Amino acid sequence: MDDVLIVGAGPAGSVAATVLARAGVRVRLVDRASFPRDKLCGDTVNAGTLAILSRLRLAAPVERHALRIDGMVVTGGRGASVEGRYPADLYGLAISRRVLDELLLQEAIHAGATFEPGVSVQAATVTQAGGARRVSGVTASARGSVHTWPARVVVGADGRRSTLAFGIGLAAHPAAPRRWAIGAYLEDPRPAGSCGEMHIRSGRYIGVAPLPGGIANVCVVKPSGPGDPDLRDAEATLRRELNADPLLRDRYATARLIRPPIVLGPVAVDAGDGYIDGLILAGDAAGFIDPMTGDGLRFAVRGGEMAAASALLALEHGWAGVHARLARQRRDEFGAKWRFNRVLRTTVAWPSLVRLAAGISRVSPGLVRAMIEYAGDCGVARATIIAKRSTTEDTKDTEAESQFL
């Protein structure tokens, strides 16, 4: 039996696997996909996420394959446009998820995790012990047959539509707003600069990120639902949205699409406070708010690390208090950002609020710059860098002392 079975080899699953394998735990990571695989995302790694990757010694290979991002440009229509640069010592990255996720997975394998692609998990195995329900493994189909995979701890890192979280009733889609995303790669031989872009319009927004190789990642997030003809012809919808936008029309009028767009939705997922022993959720599976603030990867990377710490606690001391501690930690570290995201998500849904915000940004661009820094998790980056420095200094001191012992 595995000590820990992690379902989903996205950033949350791979980081959890790396941390656990480094701690000497027998960890198996499974994914229904084979890697490298595409994943619809804005492809920006903000400053806070990068600092956490660096603390985990996972940043170096990622930086080698990425473009540096120095901040964000936010536009609100009617000429409102604010560029917010990250403070001089901080930066983010732009890297396709095909590359990023493969690099993080390879780090997990290198650390000692066993990886199995092509394993599609269908449900958690729930057993009854001493009157309490707990997860004791999963049922999954692989290579044409269905197996049960027992594990002492299951980490559900299976993304927004998490089979495990939805299956057990720990997640639901919020009633409103219901937005869908269309993401594509376009040729972009003359990128606008070294910033990511967020173009906020009534009820919708368009994110743009320059990627290595003269390519732009373009994501349109708009109100929609299943059966919407706009989603059936995603390329036509994407082109129409770009052509209707005075700022983007000329840049992408003749740009070639690198491959067919990916469609995904509804984007937001709410996770409740529920839990079940045996199962720990991480990344989008633990709740995904809205991609507008471009910080889902921080929740995934840091959330994967927290899930690994919780799994270690459960393996060593049992499940008492594990979920309460994890929920507290997630609230402390993520709570303010979740609230910020909810306010923005509501603002975008109301045309009058978008107009008001555009007006405010014209008279008070400093406020928007502060929001860009906050969205970029610059405070988290600072705190992580300082904590890392002091740990390194402590290690050096201990090593120096031990030479004299």
Ligand X SMILES: Cc1cc2nc3c(=O)[nH]c(=O)nc-3n(C[C@H](O)[C@H](O)[C@H](O)COP(=O)(O)OP(=O)(O)OC[C@H]3O[C@@H](n4cnc5c(N)ncnc54)[C@H](O)[C@@H]3O)c2cc1C
Distance CA 235, CA 239 (A): 6
What residues between 313 and 332 interact with ligand X by CB under 6 A?
Answer: none
Give the x/- contact pattern for ligand X in 174-203, rule: CB under 6 A: -------x-x--------------------
Smallest gap from residue 404 Cβ to ligand X (A)? 45
- Which runs of E-coded beta strand occur in 243-346? 262-264, 270-271, 279-281
Q: Which of 4, 5, 6, 7 binds ligand X (CB under 6 A)?
A: 7
| Residue 237 binds ligand X (CB under 6 A) | no
The residues, any chain, with a CB within 8 Å of residue 159's CB and separated by 6 or more, are: 8, 10, 283, 284, 285
| Residue 33 binds ligand X (CB under 6 A) | yes
Distance CA 314, CA 56 (A): 22
Q: Which of 159, 191, 261, 278 binds ligand X (CB under 6 A)?
A: 159
Q: Which of 18, 96, 136, 163 binds ligand X (CB under 6 A)?
A: 163
**Lookup result for tokens 């603390």:** 55
| Residue 300 binds ligand X (CB under 6 A) | yes
**Residue 80 to residues 58, 93, 259: CA-CA distances in angstroms?**
38, 25, 32
Smallest gap from residue 295 Cβ to ligand X (A)? 5
Q: Which of 295, 305, 373, 377 binds ligand X (CB under 6 A)?
A: 295
Smallest gap from residue 51 Cβ to ligand X (A)? 13
Distance CA 17, CA 305 (A): 9
| Residue 158 binds ligand X (CB under 6 A) | yes
Smallest gap from residue 44 Cβ to ligand X (A)? 4
3-state helix, strand, coil in the chain (%, to 5): 45, 30, 30
| Residue 294 binds ligand X (CB under 6 A) | yes
Whole-number CA gyration radius for the chain: 22
**Are 41 and 183 a contacting pair, CB within 8 Å?**
yes
Smallest gap from residue 328 Cβ to ligand X (A)? 20
**Residue 368 to residues 76, 84, 287, 352, 362: CA-CA distances in angstroms?**
11, 8, 26, 18, 9
31: its two tokens: 């994914």
**Are 209 and 197 a contacting pair, CB within 8 Å?**
yes
Q: Which stretch binds ligand X (CB under 6 A): 125-133, 273-281, 294-302, 384-392?
A: 294-302
Smallest gap from residue 78 Cβ to ligand X (A)? 24
| Residue 41 binds ligand X (CB under 6 A) | yes
**Are 260 and 233 a contacting pair, CB within 8 Å?**
no
Give the x/- contact pattern for ligand X in 384-403, rule: CB under 6 A: --------------------
153: its two tokens: 């701890």
Write out the residues near ligand X by the rule CB under 6 A: 7-13, 30-33, 39-44, 49, 119-121, 157-159, 163, 181, 183, 219, 221, 264, 267, 283-285, 288, 291, 294-297, 300
